[in-house]
Amino acid sequence: MLDVVITGGTVIDGTGAVGVPADVGIRDGKIVEIGTVTESAARTIDATDQVVAPGFIDIHTHYDAQAFWDTSLSPSPLHGVTTVMGGNCGFTIAPLTPDDGDYLMRMLARVEGMPLESLQQGVPWDWRSTAEYLDRLDGTLMPNAGFLVGHSAIRRVVMKDAATERAATPEELEQMKALLREGLAAGGMGFSSTWSTSHNDHTGVPVPSRHATRDEVVALCAVVKDFPGTTLEFIPQVGPFTPETFDLMAAMSVAANRPLNWNLLAVQAQNWDNVQHQLTGGDIAAAKGGRVLALTLPDTFRLRLNLRSGFVLDILPGWDKLMALPLAEKVAMLRNPAGRAEMDTLAQSAAGPLKSLANWGSYTLLETFSEQWKRFEGRTIGAIATELAKSAWDTLADIAIDDDLNTVIASMDTGQTDASWEKRVEVWRDPRAIVGASDAGAHLDMIDSFSYATTLIARTTVDRSLIPLEEAVHYLTGSPAALYGLKGRGVLASGNAADIVVFDPTRIGPGEVFTKFDLPGGAGRVYGEADGIAHVLVNGVPCVQAGELLDARPGTLLRSGRDTNTVTAT
């Protein structure tokens, strides 16, 4: 007898092939038959008028900490995601020593927008090695999950405070390489790092990996070559890449003989020249024997900004230190007329593209938590300021104070035009790019890109007939599975894991986005469910039904080599 049979649906297998009417039989977590299934089953799922596809694969998340307080890794499974990759950008929480937990959690709170109180109350911080960390999560999660080994973590463990002060000595580099080897041997999926100027720790200082020399980064990548089924992930810089950045990414890929995906390529019709410039990194790497791919978000990278975390706003002149201040000190500064004026003066000194970041009147008041300001939601700060006969900055500051700095503001979303979606499709079809970049589990107060999979299908097949549904599914399943070498995942085939999403092709899409206060310590997060997702199965076990998370936790803790094949750069 089968465990589950899915009947009456259209099977889109993840390869890009045309969908076909077929049943899917499942036993012991595997697909055993696709076609006309006559064997009886303990459970039958009626997929009439629905699509049956591989579960979506999200290769850029930051669920490393959330995995301890929310083993469903929500809301990703609600959007059809059955496999996630964590440990990106060098921001892992293993390896660990008793002296480094406090630094790492405060760094994460700063650079990845995870509430500090949630990290303190929701994470045990009692492992030491990457192996111990992975073992702690093994068998506890709803989706399948793999984790990279992060540069900032291993640098901090080896160098302590000096990790954010100087280059490593040869002896320290050898210790870092040893920790990386241990992590990869335990099943770490590869190596991740960042040189992005937007990544500063809670003291306003660049995170540990940003103090690494080129030689250090390349030497660590060379370690990866010795471990099967591994890969590389990197954030190079903010803005158009320099020749040095292109050269570094190529050297990293060549040293590891692994593909490197870099984050983030945002695509709109308006920035097409820059998109083409960034994609040339793939050509430069290929000429040197490497493989570099742009990780591109299939939507606008909408930023829900607030003064509580201050992330993104902290790239304004002098604001890196201001936004690192404790909450009470920030509120006191905003209440003080002189302090408030000083903040705005610093912000207005921004030059070039940064100047628009301090155009307070242009932001929309997206969400407020104070009844006296609720009537203004959906209006621009400038319009509110005009009505109240105040400056835009004073208006924003007053609202923020009443909200304990939780006020959410956002710039106008200019990336929803047909022209921008057409350009995104062009990038997805480019072999130098890969779809992803959800950042799910991070910037919990700021972004809603956890819905990237349902958004991709909705905007390109439901709202616009830009690509066939089969092609859209491939970008979310077979394509990322191939890049990471996932064994038996990303494609529906006999013998493969039964990671499956059943959805209505006419209704699938992201649902309403709102702030949900369900984190440890009572902190809030940006949250959103999906429309049109009927069922999600992980390893053959139902995990989502009719938009509701179930109790099952059947996810596999993915380990490099065992669960992945080696994908080389050439």
Q: Is residue 14 part of a domain?
A: no
Q: Is residue 395 part of a domain?
A: yes
Characterise 389 by phi-psi region: left (phi > 0), alpha (psi -120 to 50), beta (else).
Answer: left
Map residue 323 onto helix, strand or coil: helix
Residue 367 pairs in a beta bridge with 408
Residues 102 and 206 in one domain: yes
Strands 292-296 vs 433-435: parallel, antiparallel or unpaired: parallel
Q: Is residue 76 part of a domain?
A: yes
- By mean pLDDT, which of 40-54, 278-292, 293-307 is the weakest? 293-307
Q: Is residue 559 part of a domain?
A: no
Residues 466 and 369 in one domain: no
Strands 408-410 vs 364-367: parallel, antiparallel or unpaired: antiparallel
Residues 207 and 94 in one domain: yes
Structure tokens given for 319: 């604001």
Can you give the pLDDT at residue 412? 86
DSSP string, 44-68: EEE-TT-EEEEPEEE--B--TTHHH
Angle at 76 between CA 80 and CA 471, to 5 degrees: 40
Q: Given CA atoms 371, 376, 381, 383 in this order, what sign does their dihedral have?
A: negative
Determine the average pLDDT of the residues in 514-529: 93
Map residue 410 onto helix, strand or coil: strand
Strands 190-194 vs 231-235: parallel, antiparallel or unpaired: parallel
The whole-angstrom separation of Cα 71 and Cα 85 is 14
Residues 137 and 93 in one domain: yes
Residues 379 and 265 in one domain: no
Q: Tens digits of per-residue pLDDT, 393-443?
A: 999 999 999 999 999 999 988 899 999 999 999 999 999 999 999 999 999
Q: Given CA atoms 381, 385, 386, 392 in this order, what sign does their dihedral have?
A: negative
Residue-averaged pLDDT of the chain? 96
Angle at 570 between CA 560 and CA 12, to 5 degrees: 65
Question: How large is the angle between the packed helices 337-348 and 327-335, nearest 10 degrees?
Answer: 100
Q: What is the CATH number of the domain that holds 207?
A: 3.20.20.140
User: Residue 547 — pLDDT band, cuts 50, 70, 90?
Assistant: very high
Helix (H) or strand (E) holding 107: helix 101-111
Residues 113 and 172 in one domain: yes
Report the share of the chain in percent with pLDDT over 70.
100
Q: Is residue 32 part of a domain?
A: no
338 versus 413: the higher-pLDDT residue is 338
Query: How many other CB atoms are found less than 10 A from the CB of residue 331?
Result: 18
Q: Taking Cα atoms as reference points, which of 194, 57, 77 lies closest to residue 141?
A: 77
Residue 514 has pLDDT above 90, yes or no: no
The whole-angstrom separation of Cα 66 and Cα 46 is 33
Q: Is residue 551 part of a domain?
A: no
Q: Tens digits of per-residue pLDDT, 286-326?
A: 999 999 999 999 999 888 999 998 888 988 999 988 998 99
Q: Tens digits of per-residue pLDDT, 339-365?
A: 999 999 999 999 988 899 999 999 999
DSSP tag of 376: G
Burial class (CB in 10 A: 0-12, 13-18, 19+), 414: exposed
Can you give the pLDDT at residue 312? 86
pTM here? 0.93
Q: Is residue 16 part of a domain?
A: no
Residues 369 and 465 in one domain: no
The whole-angstrom separation of Cα 210 and Cα 237 is 10
The residue ranges of DSSP E strands in 124-198, in sequence order, are 144-147, 149-150, 190-194
Structure tokens given for 166: 């100087």
Q: Taking Cα atoms as reference points, which of 79, 206, 209, 239 lies closest to residue 148?
A: 209
Helix (H) or strand (E) holding 261: strand 260-265
Q: Is residue 561 part of a domain?
A: no
Residues 263 and 340 in one domain: no
Q: Given CA atoms 191, 283, 457, 7 in this order, what sign does their dihedral have?
A: negative
Residues 390 and 450 in one domain: no
Can you give the pLDDT at residue 238? 85
Can you give the pLDDT at residue 206? 95
Residues 329 and 273 in one domain: no
User: Residue 545 — pLDDT band, cuts 50, 70, 90?
Assistant: very high
The whole-angstrom separation of Cα 454 and Cα 457 is 5
The whole-angstrom separation of Cα 23 and Cα 498 is 13
Structural domain count of the chain: 2
Can you give the pLDDT at residue 97? 96
The whole-angstrom separation of Cα 549 and Cα 141 is 12
Residue 93 has pLDDT above 90, yes or no: yes
Residues 272 and 310 in one domain: no
Q: Tens digits of per-residue pLDDT, 231-270?
A: 999 999 988 999 999 999 999 999 999 999 999 999 999 9
DSSP H helices in 204-266: 214-224, 243-256
Residue 464 has pLDDT above 90, yes or no: yes
> Which residue range(s) make up the domain with 313?
304-410
Residues 343 and 272 in one domain: no
